[in-house]
Amino acid sequence: MGNATNGAKAGIIAGIIYGIFLGVTTYFEVISQKSVMLTAITKSMPANSPFTPEQLYNIVVLVTPVVVTVGGLIGGLIVGAIYGSVNSRIPGRTAVMKGIVVGLVLWLIIGVLAGLRSLEYGVLYYLAGVGTGLVGALIFGALLGYFFGRFSRPPKMDPAMQGL
């Protein structure tokens, strides 16, 4: 059985880094797809909305990176605790390889399948999200495994203290 505490600690660190990476890439994706997003926002707005599509787009530009970054932190904590609990059952020889396996599974579930909702903004937006999601998932998984391995090592004992 694994160690959920070490997994949660590793998940927080990996989640922060992953969240920042995803926040930056999401910001640039939203900026690069401005016209497509404005069209989608306009189509989905009620007729009596107090906001213009441009105002709503500007809110999306500001809020999305923050939400994604916080989501990375919270998700990292949860996934890390689960990873630590089931580490011995995850395929792979090293903690890093096991973390990469977890990252790839998350990417398939979140980036590929759940990301299908973003198709309303166009195929290019979806594919950009899938691509950056894969890079982010690999980074998250590798960091999760690395830090879990570091936190799970037995503490080094001073040779002079071992006889006591």
pLDDT tens across 109-164, in order?
Answer: 888 887 777 776 677 777 877 888 898 899 999 999 999 999 987 766 666 666 55
155: Cα separation from own chain's centroid: 30
Q: Give the predicted TM-score (pTM) of the model.
A: 0.78
Closest CA to 78 of 133, 129, 144: 144
Contact call for residues 95 and 148 (beta carbons, < 8 A): yes
Angstrom distance (rounded) from CA 38 to CA 41: 5
| Predicted confidence (pLDDT) per residue in 50-80, tens digit | 999 999 999 999 999 899 889 989 999 999 9
| Predicted confidence (pLDDT) per residue in 45-55, tens digit | 998 989 999 99
Lowest mean pLDDT among 22-31, 87-96, 114-123: 114-123
Angstrom distance (rounded) from CA 7 to CA 136: 18
Angstrom distance (rounded) from CA 115 to CA 90: 25
